[in-house]
Amino acid sequence: MKQLFSIFIFLFSLCSFGQIQHCGFDFTSYLVVDVHENGKSENLDNIKITLIDKGGNEVININNSLSWKDANKPMIFSKNYLISKEGEKERWFFPYAKDNYLLSVTSTFPAEQYSIKVEDLNKKFRTQIIELNSFNLYILCSSENEKQARKFGPRSNSPIEVVME
């Protein structure tokens, strides 16, 4: 019985060494946008940020081809929100973004093919269109982040800064 148990443990350990540990954010990246007034650091409310194509059209997430959520709907950013309870340390739904706007995309998202349209719903600020680049993505799994770190140029995992005028 002891030998059978030992053989089982040995085989189990061999199998577990062959497994690769996965990151909780495998297959997902984020676009994060920091929208504020010139000279101020607080993010603005009542802002609509939409993913658009080169022709200026709203991008539809056809069959989850660009994001794992909201299939067949326009790709619109949402504002990050607090998930901590009263009296607890401040915790955000997406901890890397604080009070910014964010959009979940696939890890294969071709950022260079798209732009973002930033609109003030109160009509106080002018609408801006900003082209995206691959370095605008938040790459959260270490293997992908290491690949990005070896590249020359701007680094990933920093928000797209939009100063409203």
Query: Are the C-beta atoms of 113 and 44 separated by less than 8 Å?
Result: no
Q: What pLDDT was estimated at residue 90?
A: 87
CA gap 31, 105 in Å, rounded: 7
Q: What pLDDT was estimated at residue 138?
A: 86
Identify the residue whose tokens are 């326009």. Answer: 74
Q: Which residue type occupies 86?
A: E
Q: Give 12-70 pLDDT, tens digit per residue.
A: 554 444 444 445 455 788 999 999 999 998 999 999 999 999 999 999 999 999 999 99
- Residue 133's SS3 state is coil
Q: Give 130-147 pLDDT, tens digit per residue.
A: 999 988 998 776 544 445
Q: What is the pTM of this model?
A: 0.77
